[in-house]
A and B are shown apart, each in its own frame.
Chain A
Amino acid sequence: MMAARVIDKGRIVSLLDELIEGYEVFAPVMSDDVVLFDRIASGGEARLDFANSKRLPKEAFFPPSEVMFVYAGGQPEAPSSTGDRLLFGPRPCDARSFLVLGKVFNTPDYQDAYYVEKRERTCIVGIGCNRPLSTCFCTSVGGGPFDEEGLDVLLSDLGDRYLVQIISERGRRLLEGNALLEEATEADLQEKERIATEARERIASRVETEGLSDRLAGMYDDPFWETLHQKCLGCGVCTYLCPTCHCFDVLDEGGEQRGRRVRIWDTCQSPLFTLHASGHNPRPSGRERMRQRIMHKFRYFVNNCGEIACVGCGRCVRNCPVNMDLREVLIGIMVR
């Protein structure tokens, strides 16, 4: 690995402009008041002055709707893959979510061609969180505001410049020999450590997750769910703004000769999610649907894949229309 580098903040736009020459670059952009990740055509479009994006960087690999193939005259045509991609600016929590998603979409037994194809040609440059939000709880679920997991390069905001730490071979290839970067000094590295420690200490939300999965094991028929779901509206905000949610539906649109197959996100909070063709619905009410969301993230996924399917980004907490607070739900389970 090459030594740590630094880049002046004023040069980030030039860096992106340069990288756009060789990569399809996805970066945070501001659309009205919403920060989301989108393909940018010039470095100036990127916004880095946000706590975290509202919409998810995972959309670069797993878009909310994706054409799987189109057919005309009965002959299917798959969308052709293109060049190298750069996902610039996700936070460490979201970078961890890619590891979670990988355990679903890219396993020895099953590779989701659509996800894997995009993921594998993407280099990820993340940015550490100097000022985590009050709703952030990454440190309770195994992450941290400057964690490197899932990243190829980690940027740390040192005020007038970013420390650039190369984490993977892919990251090295991205930035090797780039003239916009300079050697980092020992002081830069120390400053980053200081900021990272301070950021970690700033995270006030602590949720005990040790033993959570075991506790949930005995709670399938607990009256807890009956009380919990009452105020839930049954919308999809918590799932569609969740970096680890990965459920989808597949639709066929068109007729015999012309049409397309589309994959769209789906949510376990909708009754339609489990409605059988017979009309039977095994999750007929919010009680079962809310339980499913919690059980999946904090028990089933732990059993099946060895980790919690929550990265503590706090988006569900911030965006729930009725202020259902996942942190309080988890605390409620632990004290039960």
Chain B
Amino acid sequence: MKDLSQQIKEVARSLLQDGKVDLVIGYENGSLPLRTSPCFVRSAGEVERLIWNACCETNLATYLPDRDERVGLVAKGCDARAIVVAIAERQVARERVVIIGVPCEGIIDRRKVASRLGWKEILQANLEDGRILLAGDGFEETLPLEDSLYEACLTCEQRTPPVYDVLVGDPVPPVEVVDPFSEVAALESRGADERWAYFSQEFSKCIRCYACRQACPLCYCPECFIDQTQPSWFGKTNDVSDTLIFHVVRALHLAGRCVDCGACSRACPMGIDLRALNRKMIKDVWERYGYQAGLDLAAMPPLSTFELDDPQEFIK
């Protein structure tokens, strides 16, 4: 099997040469260890920049809405699911995007790696046979890749994109998860006071940079509720009541839509546990409607439709 980077370059080259797309969005090497950076390629001559590795963390689907060009988009399983939701919600025209699916075996959690190294600065990182070789000032360390992945990747059931136009490489099986919602259940089982304390602590770290919202491929509202000023619905200070309400409402807006790609937590500079609320929404939507977002272009999002037999015991 040719390596995935090579295959992505070839697919991008032919899409651009054949005039099937105007633009390919993929990843290129970043300027720092364990980083890649989104890469916009408009001519076949530039495709050599494109790469693939376990540091391709950005969900590139966030660049799709409001784009006039026909786009070839490099998509992991979760990214492809986000594209499916964006298409179903009429934010992206199916015929204007070529999904270049990449089977993904998990993305490296830089924070996890840094914490394992006691936050020492990493000056070099190489990926090799399921290991991360790290080096810094006066140290060398090797970590197994599987211990260094994002939490979201550990419960990923769609490592191979469910929908794609071209698939590079061979499909990879889903992660076998016994109880995908165990961490949600653990949080649910704690008392209201404890949960309040947990979320207050998490959201007190928020600096209101909105990196979570901007990185989210499904936060595409032209005007976010939090930016509305006439009237101004919510406070904009760093008081925890203000930051918490922003995150709660954002999570509710994503109920039945969030594909748990983890882009929000990766973008967050403060390391807030942003997935906790989203996972709870995913669990509720799954339990009530048996629905998972982003698997099927034809499926109607459950919170955008109404059936007479919908569970509604919560309406009092």
Contact = CB atoms under 8 A, between A and B. Distances in A.
Contacts of A55: 207
A253 B231 CA distance: 11
Interface string B265-299: 01101110000000000000000000000000000
A148 B24 CA distance: 48
A33 B137 contact: no
A317 B32 contact: yes
Interface string A52-86: 00110000000111000000000000000000000
Contacts of B38: 230-231, 322
Given A134-B32, A327-B31, 15 more contacts: A31-B205, A65-B236, A65-B238, A131-B137, A134-B121, A231-B39, A233-B62, A235-B215, A236-B208, A236-B209, A253-B235, A264-B237, A322-B58, A325-B30, A325-B32
Q: Which 3 pairs across A and B sit closest by C-beta, in order of nearness?
A: A321-B267, A65-B237, A235-B211
Interface of B: 30-32, 35-40, 58, 62-63, 111, 114-115, 119, 121, 123, 137, 205, 207-211, 213-215, 227, 229, 232, 235-239, 266-267, 269-271
Contacts of A241: 207, 209, 269
Contacts of B35: 323
Most A CB within 10 A of own CB, among B63, B115, B205 = B205
Contact of A323 (B36, B119, B209): B36
Given A33-B271, A131-B137, A240-B207, A323 B32 contact: yes
A324 B214 CA distance: 15
Most B CB within 10 A of own CB, among A321, A325, A327 = A321
Most B CB within 10 A of own CB, among A227, A240, A249 = A240
A34 B208 contact: no
Contact of B271 (A34, A134, A272): A34
Contacts of A236: 207-211
A331 to B, nearest CB: 11
Contact of A230 (B40, B58, B237): B40
14 contacts: A33-B119, A63-B238, A65-B239, A230-B38, A233-B215, A236-B209, A236-B211, A270-B227, A321-B58, A321-B266, A322-B37, A323-B30, A323-B37, A324-B37
Most A CB within 10 A of own CB, among B63, B207, B210 = B207
B269 A133 contact: no
Contacts of A234: 214
B111 A33 contact: yes
A107 interface: no
Contact of A134 (B111, B123, B213): B123
Contacts of B214: 233-235, 321
A64 B207 contact: yes
A253 B232 CA distance: 9
A6 B182 CA distance: 54
A23 B227 CA distance: 39
B228 to A, nearest CB: 9
Contacts of A32: 205, 271
Contacts of B208: 64, 236, 240, 264-265
A217 interface: no
A293 interface: no
Interface string A259-281: 00010110100101000000000
B121 to A, nearest CB: 6
Contacts of B213: 235
Nearest to A265: B208
B105 to A, nearest CB: 21
Contacts of B237: 64-65, 251, 262, 264
A328 interface: yes
